[in-house]
Structure 1
């Protein structure tokens, strides 16, 4: 349970950092803490459930691009999360850049807050 709450916190914090750093990804003006937490939870669920399926379906493209197509899959997942939550993304290009920054922010926060 502690690990699940920690992951929810990290996802929410990473989404918040990306919304501060990159103007292509933001939260709705009236979004509150609950909206941030919901977006973090949906991001975590999408990464756990949807992303592996998309990576499996796009495996040939991923092999041809030596793994770079994973960034496109991450952008697709971020775009879908934005459609379901208070997160706002400026088109698919914004989702690609946002996914790259989100991956870096999540990596840094995981490293910073590790046990």
Structure 2
């Protein structure tokens, strides 16, 4: 049940971020849900492999490489999914930051219940 709630909250977070960040377009809540699922799958597979391969460099850059990988995963999902469009690296970086912040807010509200 918690997993299903996480998916729905991620979809809601993506819709909110799309309204805030210029250059991000989401065509509806269903597209936002699918984008959230795809982001999770892509980060858990391709993103994980890239993080493992770049681990020493990630330590040297204090996690910056991990953030850049996350931004590229957002751009990858944008290219895969019709109805979810992120225009450029800067918009994807802002999207990744805002999505993480909103999901942190959702989790803090959930734990305070």
TM (normalized to structure 1)?
A: 0.84
Counterparts of 1:17 and 1:33 in 2: how far apart (Å)? 10
> Per-residue deviation at 1:75?
0.3
- In the alignment, which of 72, 84, 87 is matched to residue 87 of structure 1? 84
Match of 2:93 in 1: 96
Closer, same or farther: CA 72–110 of 1 in aligned 2, 3 Å: same
Counterparts of 1:25 and 1:113 in 2: how far apart (Å)? 27
Q: Could you list the structure 1 runs, at least 4 aligned residues long, displaced by more than 6 angstroms after superposition.
A: none
Kindly indicate whether residue 71 of structure 2 is the aligned counterpart of residue 72 of structure 1.
no
* More helix by percentage: 2
Contact 1:75–1:96 (Cα < 8 Å) also in 2: yes
> Per-residue deviation at 1:63?
1.1
Superposed CA deviations along residues 75-112 of structure 1, whole A, max 9, x for unmatched, are 01111111112211111221112111111111111222
Counterparts of 2:44 and 2:2 in 1: how far apart (Å)? 14
> Per-residue deviation at 1:113?
2.2
TM (normalized to structure 2)?
A: 0.86
Alignment of 1:40-51 (within 5 A): 40-51=36-47
Counterparts of 2:107 and 2:74 in 1: how far apart (Å)? 19
Match of 2:29 in 1: 33
Aligned residues between the structures: 111
Q: Which runs of 5+ in 1 are unaligned?
A: none
Q: CA RMSD in A?
A: 1.6
Superposed CA deviations along residues 9-36 of structure 1, whole A, max 9, x for unmatched, are 1211121111011112221xxx233222
